[in-house]
């Protein structure tokens, strides 16, 4: 497809993000399964439902600009999701893996926000006022998801920090005052059904029986 003007660029970027959103719907269920925090898992599940809606909105924008919906491989999303996959393969405490999953997801959200922001501005210039509203709606939801992930990270990152320092203490066999608080973070099991509740995430000292997993 030739790219002669802003409309062509608009359609090209529409195809790029249409591809990205499809890839994200495939990645989110796995991320929800891998998340140990209940809050994080449900945030991913909620965003999956939103992402399916984003795809339908993009199809509407394609109609508004008079083009059939089609995809162009979004290499950036391929790469960002691969990085998420790499984190999921790490052998690390579950709080550390959750922190890594949040970072991976936020990178995807920020990338999407950049694309939707440009598309919205271009739609405005192209006089596609209905498309402006549709794209803004999605942009708002990506932003809300990003904020929600930041909130979840606020509590989880404290746990991740403790997990990491206790690992170091194990290796060095050094007692520090920080070790008095909370049990050792267990290593993440391979797969599982139960999640850490937000209550145990916040308390920082769940009973071992609550934290162990049957897989």
Nearest residue by C-beta to Fe ion? 54
Residue nearer to Fe ion on the CB measure, 80 or 206? 80
Q: Is 19 in the site for Fe ion (CB under 5 A)?
A: no
Least distance in angstroms from the C-beta of 113 to Fe ion:
8
Selection from 204, 203, 194, 199 nearest residue 33 by Cα: 194
Residue nearer to Fe ion on the CB measure, 19 or 39? 19
Least distance in angstroms from the C-beta of 44 to Fe ion:
10
**How far apart are the C-alpha atoms of 156 and 166, rounded to whole Å?**
15
Residue nearer to Fe ion on the CB measure, 13 or 197? 13
Residue nearer to Fe ion on the CB measure, 34 or 112? 112
**How far apart are the C-alpha atoms of 116 and 106, rounded to whole Å?**
15
Residue whose entry in the numeric block shows the structure tokens 């005052």: 177
Least distance in angstroms from the C-beta of 143 to Fe ion:
10
Least distance in angstroms from the C-beta of 156 to Fe ion:
19
Restricting to residues 41-70, name those near Fe ion by CB under 5 A. Answer: 51, 54
Question: What are the structure tokens assigned to 95, written together?
Answer: 């709080």
CA dihedral 185, 186, 188, 189 (to 10 degrees): -160
Least distance in angstroms from the C-beta of 21 to Fe ion:
5
Question: What are the structure tokens assigned to 209, written together?
Answer: 């029986």
Residue nearer to Fe ion on the CB measure, 31 or 206? 31
Dihedral pair phi/psi, residue 181, rounded to 5°? -100, 125
Cβ distance 39 to 105 under 8 Å?
no
**How far apart are the C-alpha atoms of 55 and 200, rounded to whole Å?**
36
Residue 121 CB neighbour total at 10 angstroms:
14
Restricting to residues 84-123, name those near Fe ion by CB under 5 A. Answer: 112
Site string for Fe ion, 167-196 (x = CB under 5 A): ------------------------------
Site string for Fe ion, 137-166 (x = CB under 5 A): -----x------------------------
Selection from 113, 94, 116, 108 nearest residue 40 by Cα: 94
* Residues that contact Fe ion, how many (by CB under 5 A): 4
Least distance in angstroms from the C-beta of 142 to Fe ion:
5
Residue whose entry in the numeric block shows the structure tokens 């719907």: 25
Which residues of this chain interact with Fe ion, rule CB under 5 A? 51, 54, 112, 142
């Amino acid at each position: 497809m030739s790219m002669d003007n802003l409309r062509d660029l608009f359609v090209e970027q529409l195809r790029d993000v249409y591809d990205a959103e499809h890839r994200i719907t495939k990645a989110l269920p796995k991320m929800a399964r891998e998340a140990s925090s209940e809050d994080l898992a449900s945030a991913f599940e909620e965003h999956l439902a939103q992402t399916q809606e984003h795809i339908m909105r993009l199809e509407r924008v394609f109609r508004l600009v008079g083009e059939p919906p089609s995809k162009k491989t979004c290499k950036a999303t391929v790469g960002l999701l691969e990085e998420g996959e790499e984190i999921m393969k790490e052998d690390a405490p579950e709080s550390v893996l959750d922190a890594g999953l949040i970072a991976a997801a936020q990178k995807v959200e920020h990338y999407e926000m950049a694309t939707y922001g440009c598309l919205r501005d271009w739609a405005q210039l192209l006089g596609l006022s209905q498309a402006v509203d549709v794209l803004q709606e999605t942009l708002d939801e990506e932003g809300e998801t990003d904020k929600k992930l930041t909130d979840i990270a606020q509590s989880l990152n404290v746990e991740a920090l403790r997990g990491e320092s206790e690992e170091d203490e194990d290796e060095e066999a050094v007692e520090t005052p920080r070790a008095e608080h909370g049990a050792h973070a267990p290593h993440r099991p391979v797969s599982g059904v139960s999640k850490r509740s937000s209550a145990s995430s916040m308390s920082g000292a769940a009973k071992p029986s609550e934290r162990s997993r049957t897989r």
